[in-house]
Structures are given as C-alpha cells and as structure tokens.
Structure 1
Amino acid sequence: MINYKYILFFCFLFIGNHPRAFSQTHVKKENHSTINKNKADSLLNIGIKKQESGNFAESVIYFNKSLESYYENKDFKKAGDCYSYLAISYSLQGNYVQSLSYFEKSISEYKKSGYKLGISSVTNNMGGTYYYLGKLPQALSCYQKVLELQKEIKDPKTIAITTQNIGGIYSKLEDYSSALKYYKRAYDVYKKVNDVKAIAQNLNSTGSIQVRMKDFDLAYKNLNKALSIANEQNDKQIKVEVLNNLGTLFYRKLDYSNALAYFNNTLQLAKEMNSQQYIGDSQIAIGNIYIEQGKNNEAVKLCNKGFAIAQKIGSLSLKKDACDCLYQSYKKLNDNKRALSYYEKSNIFEDSLNSKETSNRMMNMEFQKQQLTDSIAYVKREHIIQIKHKEEVQEQEKQRNIFIVSLCFILVVAGGLWSRLNFVRKSREALRVEKDRSEELLLNILPEEIAEELKQKGSVNARDFNLVSILFTDFKSFTQTAERMSPQSLVEEINVCFRAFDLISEKYQIEKIKTIGDSYMAAGGIPKPDQNSLKNIVLAGLEMQGFMAERKTENIQTNKPAFEMRLGIHAGPIVAGIVGVKKFQYDVWGDTVNTASRIESNGMVGKVNISESLYHLIKNEDCFVFEYRGNIQAKGKGELKMYFVEANSERI
C-alpha cells in the first residue's frame, strides 16, 4: 500500500484588526487625504472578504489597488498589511516564491512604522510557507524568531498559533506525542479567547495526527467538529483541508469508496479556490486510490497532472508523492522502464528534501584562524626575539665595563630609544603590509561582508535567501573552437571574456560566484539583498552578450576563431556560505541553481534566456522587451516556460 503524505493546515495570522469601513458623517468638508484613506480601507476590506471566501485571485486585485492609495498617504503600516494579505493569497494558491517576496516587503514596511506585532505575525506566516515547501529548518527558525519577539509583545493568540505550528514540525518528524502536546497548549488559548476559526484549525491538525496514529474514531470526531465550524463560518480554506484529511482517514482504513468521495469534494473545492497545492494533492490521492482499484491508466493520468502542478509551484514533497504514484502505476502496468524512471526521480526528490540539513552541517565547519594570522604572528615572534637579544647585549656590556657604560649612558639611552622607535616603526609597517596583503587577498575571493564575518568569528554561518537571481553562461561548441587554437591563445581568449564579465558584474553590483571551465556563474541579491538586483542582473546579461558579439566581429576581422555564448537567468530561494578550510570560496546551493543551469543550456546563442518566475518579477520594467518561447523540455525538470529578454530601445 502506498504511504500517503498528509498536509497539515498551518494557521495564518491575519494582521491585527481588519480595517474598518468608515461610517457616514455630516462633516461638510473632508480633505483629499481622508477621502483617499477611506477608499483604500474600503478596497482592503473587499479584498479581505474575497480572501476569506476563497476567491484569492480577485482578492489580489483589491489588495494592489488599496496598496497604491496607502503609499500616496505614506501609511506604511497599512502598506505592510496589504503586502501581508497579498502574500497569504499567493501562498494559498501555491505560489510560494511570490508569497515569500511579499512577506519580506511587509516586514520592511512594518519596521518603518515600528509595528512589532505585525513583524511577529508575518514571520509566523513565512514559517508556514517554508513548511509547505518542505524546508523544515527554515520554518522552525521563523517560529523561534516569533517566540523571541513575543517575549516583549506577549500577544497570547500569536503565541498560541506559533505553538501550534511548531507542533506541525514535530508531526512532520513523526514525533506525534510532542505534536499533540503543542496542539493542546494552543487549543486551551483558543478556547479562552473564544477564537472559533482557530479552534477549527486546531481540531483539524489534531485529527490528522490521530489518523497517523490509527486512532480513527477520535480522529473522525475531531475532523467532523472542524468541518462543522468551517461550514458555519463559510471558511473554504479550512473546509478544503478538513475534507482532504477525512479522505486520508478513510484511505488508511482501506475504505476506498468513502475516501474517493472526500477527495473528489476536495478537488472540486480546490478548483473553485484555485488552490494549486490542494488540486495537485487531491489528484495524486485519487490516483493512489485508482491504483488500489486496479485502474492504473486512470491513475497515470491524474498523477501526471499532479506532477505538473508540483513542478509549477516548486513543492518538492508534492513532486515526490507524484513520482511514487507514477512508479506504482507503471509497475502495475508492467512498464518497467517508466516505473524505474519515476522511482529514481522519487529518490532524487527525497535526497533534495534532506539536502538542507546536509548543507547546514557543512556550513557549520569552523575555519582555522591561524590561516589569516600566520603572517602577523611571524612578525610578532621576530619582534620578541630582537627585544630579548638587545636586552642580553646591554646586560653583558654593563657587567664588562661599568665605567664605559656610565660614561656612555646618555649615548646608549639615546641610541636605545632611537633603535626602539625605529624597530617599532618597522614592525608596524611590516604588520600593516601583511594585513593589507591578507585583506586584499581575502576580498578578492570573498564578498566584503562575508570576509568581515570570517575575520571576526573564524567561521561563516550559512544563510538562507528567499529571492536571489542566478546567471549562467556557456560557450557554444567550445571544444570544436578550442581545437583550432593554441593552448596559450585559448587561455588568453577566455581571460579576455571573463575579465570583461567581471567588470560588467562589478558595474551592476552582482556577485561573481565562480568559473567552471568555459562557464561563468554570478548571482544578484547576495550577500546583501537589493531590490534592484533582478533588473541589474538582466542588464548585466544583455551587456555580456553585447560584448561577445563585438568580440566575435573583432576576431573575424583578424582571422581568429571566435566564441558564441548562451546565457540563462533564474530567480528563487538559495542557501549561501563557505565550505572547506583550504582554497575556500563563497558558493550557493539549491534547486534554483540547478534550474538556472537548465535555463542556460536551453537558451540560444546571442540571447538572454530567462525563466517564467523571473519574468513575472521584472515584467513591469520599461527597459525590457520580452518574447515568450513556450514550454521547453529541460533535462531533469520537465517542461519549463521560458522567455527571451532584450533591451527596450525606445526606453534607452
């Protein structure tokens, strides 16, 4: 039997009090600012109602409209509210990358207005989004930050929701007793403040744990209570989660008829809400039931649909579930070749889900401070030896001839002072030279911020970045072109190109990561996040292609072989840090890096090829013109939507 994955519903904290609609008054004159604020509050209220009823796409329209008005009034707190609601709508639709980006913007606006409760709430919501992406360490880190903030704020509801979400982490790790303990603490608070929706969410999460523990009667009781509240409150998000868990309950009881009914209801409601996560999840669940019923061809169709959605929203756990379903389907159909293919993919996604912990262990390796201080230590040792030698000579001279020492006392003291001052000056100069040399060497291989951390601590902590752009270049037909060149001319030509790329990267403030053979890799938005990094890295890519075109023309005129280049850019979350203790370098890891490589390899010579996610982030930039390429088959990624980007000559 297939072990089906349960998705726990994470409580989203909605910011503070909903903005009130302004009541009618009899004031004769009302200034323009107040009118704009009334309009913005009204639009925000409509967006919230759309979101609560499950119309997430429509809610986004109203949130964006109200955001414009709040910025006109410089109301940064309300702008933070808008960004937070936008992020929640995108997260509930399965667009997690966009969701994390808006959560970051919300925190930024709340910091301007000093709204600590908002910062705490949004940090909790980011933890829930990381959970859905299968990034448990990042999720837990967010919840720990919330509890740290709550030591000062002491908001009981925020603490309760975060406590429940930490219980979800324990559930994912299959520590069910600890999970139920955290859920019970949260439930007591919800009952005390009479938060009906939170009680429903808590009962749903508790029921899902009891399903795993095979306590089916108690699970059914709690899930039905949650469903009743969801229906009373007309909360579609809670309802779709409860229906999903009820389907899972009957699947575990081998009652496939009832399980199928619940999953079909889940799928129908998820489509109404445009919740991609639950559309894909319920399709895979129904596919698993079809396998048990011997309907393997139908299972293949549904699980393929689920796999396509998993690829679209970037959920590793959903990809793994889809591959498990397809493996079992093709195995039952005796299509061993395809079965093996999906079995291997499932293992790859399983490894990816665990790669975060592995990379963290690598990042925690301590660097030996001696590497940076050897030269300074050498100068200090020489200093001490010379001082001791000088003292010994003076002592011998004093013992041998007190008379001479007495007569020459003033001269010796003067000479000693001069010698000491001269020695100190030389020592300081030697220290300065060695320090400058170490600084220059370190800054040549590491970003300044990372180098400072390395000098101060002797190690560098790994960091998560929610949105970083990755650029790859590669020379087409490199081997064939290189065969027509001598080794020296080949190296010189590559050096000319990469030196130009380094200057372009510096111009647009993007970070060169490394070169691998004839491939060049750079990143935008690290180690310091920059709101202009996405635009700048595309401008850098266009300038690199422009340089290669000019270089080709020059080489052809002098009858020299010329290289042509592909270039691809993708944006998404990554992990960055340093590994090793010798010849160390700043590097990045994550699925975003792999996807950027595939975008480059599927590009065209002379063009800048970008991913769909990057296109959505920069599509409103007037300086670019885009050409949609359609779905392109990428190795290991399936079909990806790609775009060519060019400079908008009318805006130059």
Structure 2
Amino acid sequence: MIRKLKAFLFGTGFFCFLIGNSFGQDQKVADSLVYIFDQDILRDTMQLELLRNLSFHEGRDLQKGLQYAEELIKLSQEQNNNIYLYRGYLQKGNKKRLLGSLEEALDAFFKCLETARQIGYSQGEGTALSAIADIYSITDNHANAMLYYRQAIDILRTTEDSISLASALMNAGDEFLKRQEFDSALVYFEESGLIFEKADYLIGKAYNLGNIGMVYANIGNNNLAEANINEATRILEELEDFYAISIYLIYMADIYMEKGDKSTALSYAKRSLDLGKVYGLKEQIRDANLKLSELYEQTGNIEESFNYYRDHIIYRDSLSNVETVQNLADLRTDFEVSQKQIEVDLLNQEKRNQRTIMVYLIIIVILGAIILATLFWYYKKIQKEKKKSETLLLNILPSETAAELKLNGKVDAVKSNSVTVMFTDFVDFSKKSELIEPEKLVKGIDFYFKAFDEIISKYGLEKIKTIGDSYMCASGLPTPNKDHALNMVKAAKEMVEFVERVKNLNNELPHFEMRIGIHSGPVVAGIVGIKKWQFDIWGNTVNIASRMESASLPGKINLSETTYQEIKSHYTCEYRGEIQVKNGGSFKMYFLS
C-alpha cells in the first residue's frame, strides 16, 4: 500500500519556476538546487524556500534530504518564521518515515500539526493530520488512522487545496484496502481519482491507478489489476518514484504466481527487493523478502524460502529499533525463526522417513524384528520433537492460552477488568548505544532482560514483549489475581534494585539508569496472526502505563492513581501532580518511595 503523497504537497514559492508543470520529487531539480545552495547567495525567506525544495526533491539520498530538513527547522526557528518551521517538520517527518524511523516521524508530524494550528494554517493542519494518520496506518493502528484521516478530510474540504484532499481520501481508501473492505476502498479511490484527474496531478493519478489495481488483485480480477498496475508503474518510472514501484512489483508477483508463472513472479519480487536495497527503503526490503520467502516455499525450495524469511525478520525489527541494536535483533529473532526451522526440519524428516520405510518394506520378512525396533525409535523421536514444539509454544504463550490454542486451533480475545501493566525503559539508551560496541551492547541488554524475566516469573507476572530497550509485562492475566498491583510493584522494586547493583559492579557490562511506569485497569488480551503467534494486550490501560513510564524519572517507579489506590496500604508513595494522557484525560501520578 502507498503512504507517500504527503511528501509532494509543498505549495507555491520562490523556486516554483524551477519546477514548472511537473509534479513529484525530481532528482534533476535537486541537483540543480544543490548548485544554488553551494553558492551561498540567498538569505532569509529565499534561503528557507531553497532548503525546503532541496529536502523535498532529494529522493536519491534520504539522509541528505533529512539534513536539509533539519537545517530548515533550525533557520526557521532562528528567524521566527513559523510557516517554514511547519514545512521543515513536514519534510523531516517524510524522510524519517521513508527511512523506517516511524516513532521519530510521528513526533515530527505532531510538531508540524502544532505549528500549523498556532498560525491558523488550515491547509497545513489538514496535511499534518493526514501524515499522522499515515504513520498509524503503517503500524496497523486502524482506529487511530481513520480518526486522523477523517479529521484531515473534514478540514481539507474547507480549503482550496484539492491535491491534499485527494491524497487524504486516497490514503484513507488504502486503509480500507488493507482491511479487505474493498467496497469502501473503491468509494474513496473513485473520489480521489476524479480530483487528481481534474487537477492533472500525474503522480496522484499513478498512485490511484495502482491502488485500484490492488483492489482488483484482491478480488481476483487479475486482468484489470495488471492493466492498472502496469500503467501506474509506467508513469512512476518516468517520475523516478521507485518507492511506489517497489510496492506495485510485489502485487505483480502475486498476480503472476496465481497465473502459475512462477519464474515471472520471482523476477518481479526480486526487482522490488533490488530497488529497496539501492534506495535504502527498509519497508520495501522487509516486504520483498517476505514475498520471496512465500514464493520459494510455494515452489518447494524450502532452504531459499528460509533464507529470505530470516532477512525479512531482521528488516522488520530494524523499523522499530535503534540501528546499533540490530545485532540484538539477530539473537532475539532466532527464537521466532526457530518456528520456521521446525517446519523445515519436520518436512525433511518426513522425506527421510518415507525413504527408510520403503527400504524396510522390501526386507520386512527377513528383518521384521529390526523394523519394529526402528519404528519404535522413530516414534520416540517424533514424541521428542513434539515435546520440543510444545516447550517452544509455552515460551511464546501463557500455558492457559497455549492449551486453548491446541484444543480449539484458535484463541478468543478475553477482556480482563483488573490488570496491572508495567513499562520499563533505559534512560538515554539511543545516545549511549552510539558509544558502545554493538557486541557489548547486545550482551548487556540480554543480561538485563534475562534478570527481568527471572524477577517477573518469581511474582507470577506475564511478559508481553520487548521493543528495543523497553520491557513490557502484565499482572493479573490470563488468570485473574486480586494482588495483581501489589505483585507488580514488588517486581518493579526488585528490577530497580538489580539495575542499581549492576552499576556498582566492576565489570565490562554497559550501565544504565532505568525508569518505570505502572497503571492498573481493564485490557483485552489474545494472540494475533496464524503463524509465529504473539500474545499481546490492547486498550487504554496500555497507553496510560506507557505515559506513566515516559513521565517517570531515572531510578523511579511512577504509579497512576488506580495503582496507588491498590497498594497504598502496603507502601508509602509521594504525590507528584497530574499528567494529561492523549484520549484518556488527566491522571494523577505518584512516586513509589
């Protein structure tokens, strides 16, 4: 799906005469603008406009485009020019998103939104809201994505910016396409397509054609899908927009695979991967590796499928982790990849078993006793592999959830009204990680997280997941526990004490300050996906617990009002004021003494 039109909305300005009637990013324009920039002859607004166009048009080197955006933000602040400050944050968010730094992109887009509202810039407010919705859509947060898309569309309808309105409509339609709500997707695409056609906005027309093609691909009309996607690709090749092309190539691979043309399908997927690698597009590298893994699995090449699947896992994790922790991703994704490895091992074992049985059938009369002994040995081995699989499953899911999954083949989501959620985070981890050798950093993070695993097991807590240097766990599920808050606080204190003890040790491990946030309330728990299951929880309680952690201080445990009421008879706490939580209102906070 396409998430890019926000990058092309830049209005009129001093350098528009360089752009003429063309639309979209143009590397040739960027190269020309660099020559002007190097002359260092422009000042004030003209200098800001030059930086904006440089950042916008620099599509070949995303890091360089990001540098221009940062310089635009800095100069806009110095000159107190809020309209260009808004544009600087918009370009920074676009580049961060393309580089896979989604959290930083979201932060830049919210600053962009705040600046637009301060200066009463309705068009900019709508554009920023749509960009925020794009990030939520990429991270599969459908509720937030549609919330911000609808706000963006309502505001943009009041402006004369038809291109921004069409872009928001198209991306909202793309969100419905992701959820396979094809009728709703086509309604949005038809309206956005009419607007792009009327404005003769070439790149918008290309994206709209591609998205309509993807709808047809999903409903099985491959001829129309191929025609629309091929036309979109032709236009985008002229515009040198390889981000979008790499996505459409994946859909072309699906179309040809369904036709039975495996060779052509593989060539499209490999071309998408090559484009992603050349232009540093992490999302496309991730998706192309997954598609190649699926295609090779369908062709029976299990070994090649496994190799591409492993690369997919690495790039998937790199979108949400610090670059220097990619080695940690290698270690921790081994566990996920092991599920795939088990499938490969069992398939190979089955082939070996078939050959062995054929040999034994020929000599069954003479070696009957040996055959019986051998079959018994294989039975024991299969039982051992089954036990190994069950052990791995219990490492991924709570025992009750694993039992339900084995019994019914699925797990129903369950709402728990009394659960306590904790988030931990290492202070200034990103900065410190740049100064620490990757191997030592991986060893240190693994050391801390193993200790945390032992602590939460002691108090019967459930580990949910780790994201980079953040550790998330819950108390009171899947089995309710009236002491859920008390057990969580006890575990949190032990974690803080452990981190403090490590700081006093004379060893080569990296030392960190840790902060903790805890909140109690209702959550919905369950597993997602059909492969490589992950037990997870959802709800406003999770968001509030995360805010408690971000509002905490080094070495402190920050409690919400609801958690404090649960444990106040056992521990002394210090009231520290209220905090505003997005979509959640105001919450009181307490430091655990």
Return the TM-score normalized by structure 1: 0.49
Partner of 1:136: 102
Match of 1:176 in 2: 142
| C-alpha spacing 1:221/1:512, structure 2 compared with 1 (3 Å) | closer
Contact 2:102 2:320 in 1 (8 A): no
- Distance in 1 of aligned mates of 2:49 and 2:206: 25
Distance in 1, Cα, partners of 2:152 & 2:66: 25
Aligned-residue offset at 1:355: 2.9
8 Å contact kept, 1:47–1:61: no
Change (3 A) 1:358 1:55: closer
Describe the shift of the 1:358–1:169 C-alpha distance in structure 2 as closer, same or farther (beyond 3 A).
farther
Contact 2:25 2:241 (C-alpha < 8 Å) held by counterparts? no
Residue of structure 1 in register with 2:52 after alignment = 84
CA distance in 1, matches of 2:68, 2:273: 26
Match in the other structure for 1:212:
178
* 1:351 CA displacement: 2.6
Match of 1:560 in 2: none
Match of 2:310 among 339, 344, 352: 344
1:86 to partner: Cα distance: 1.7
Q: Is the 8 A contact 1:290 1:299 kept in 2?
A: yes
For residues 273 and 586 of structure 1, the distance between their equivalents in structure 2, rounded to whole angstroms, comes to 49
Match of 1:241 in 2: 207
> Residues 144-180 of structure 1, C-alpha deviation per residue, up to 9 Å, x if partnerless?
2223434532322222211111112222233323322
Q: Is the 8 A contact 2:5 2:204 kept in 1?
A: no
How far the C-alpha of 1:218 sits from its partner, in A, is 3.1
Matched, 1:193 2:159: yes
Question: Which residue of the partner structure matches residue 330 of structure 1?
Answer: 296
Equivalent residue, structure 1, for 2:13: 18
User: Shift of the alpha carbon at 1:108?
Assistant: 2.9
Unmatched runs of 5 consecutive residues or more in structure 2:
329-424, 441-467, 471-495, 513-593
Asked whether the 8 Å contact 2:247–2:272 carries over to 1, the reply is: yes
1:244–1:14 Cα change, 3 Å: closer
Q: RMSD of aligned C-alpha atoms?
A: 3.4
Q: Is the 8 A contact 1:260 1:289 kept in 2?
A: yes
| Matching residue of 1:461 | 428
SS of the equivalent of 1:232 reads helix
Q: What residue is the counterpart of 2:16 in the other structure?
A: 45
1:161 to 104, 107, 127: 127
Do the aligned partners of residues 178 and 108 (structure 1) sit closer, same or farther apart at CA in structure 2, a change above 3 Å counting? closer
- Give the Cα separation in 1 of the matches to 2:188 and 2:431: 37
1:302 equivalent to 2:268? Answer yes
* Residue in structure 2 matched with residue 319 of structure 1 by the alignment: 285
CA contact (8 A) 2:246 2:273 kept: yes
Q: How many residues align?
A: 355
Contact 1:327/1:342 (CA < 8 Å) preserved in 2? yes
CA distance in 2, matches of 1:464, 1:277: 30
Matched, 1:63 2:19: no
Q: Hey, what's the Cα distance between the residues in 2 that align with 1:199 and 1:514? A: 47
- Which residue of 228, 233, 244 corresponds with 1:278? 244
**1:331 is paired with a residue of what secondary structure?**
helix
On the 8 A contact 2:7/2:91 being kept in 1, the answer is yes
Letter in 2 for 1:18: G
User: What are the within-5 Å matches in structure 2 for residues 105-116 of structure 1?
Assistant: 105-116=71-82
> Counterpart in 2 of 1:7?
2
Q: Is the 8 A contact 2:48 2:72 kept in 1?
A: yes
Paired residues for 1:497-508 under 5 Å: none
Q: Secondary structure at the match of 2:260?
A: coil
Rounded Cα–Cα distance in structure 2 between residues aligned with 1:515 and 1:339? 28
> Given residue 242 of structure 2, which amino acid in structure 1 is its aligned partner?
Q
SS state of the match for residue 192, structure 1? coil
Find the aligned partners of 1:202 and 1:233 in 2 and give their Cα distance. 15
One-letter identity of the residue aligned with 2:6: C
User: SS of 2:321's equivalent?
Assistant: helix
What is the CA-CA distance between 1:261 and the residue it aligns to? 1.3
Secondary structure of residue in 1 paired with 2:158:
helix
Q: CA deviation at 1:190?
A: 1.3
> Could you list the per-position Cα deviations for residues 275-328 of structure 1 after superposition, in whole angstroms to 9, with x for gaps in the alignment?
121222222221121112111111111211111111122222211211122122
Task: Report if the CA contact (8 A) 2:9-2:164 is conserved.
Answer: no
Distance 1:17 1:464 in 2: 38
1:261 to 219, 227, 232: 227
Task: Map residues 218-233 of structure 1 onto 2, 5 A cutoff.
Answer: 218-233=184-199
Shift of 1:12: 3.3
User: Which amino acid counterpart does residue 202 of structure 1 have in structure 2?
Assistant: A
Percentage identity across paired residues of the two chains: 20
- The letter for the 1-side match of 2:307 is S
Give the Cα–Cα distance (whole angstroms) in 2 for the partners of residues 326 and 516 of structure 1: 30
Say if 1:209 and 1:512 are closer, same or farther in 2 by CA, change over 3 A: closer
Q: Are residues 1:146 and 2:112 paired?
A: yes
The TM-score normalised by the length of structure 2 is: 0.54
Q: Which amino acid aligns with 1:58?
A: K
Opposite residue 118 of structure 2, the aligned amino acid is E
Q: In structure 1, the residue corresponding to 2:220 is in which secondary structure?
A: coil
Q: Which amino acid aligns with 1:46?
A: F
**Would you say the 8 A contact 2:325–2:438 is kept in 1?**
no
Query: For structure 1, which runs of at least 5 residues remain unmatched after alignment?
Result: 1-5, 20-43, 363-457, 471-510, 518-574, 588-652
Distance, in Å, in 2 between the alignment partners of 1:191 and 1:516 is 53
**In the aligned structure 1, how far is the partner of 2:97 from the partner of 2:247?**
15
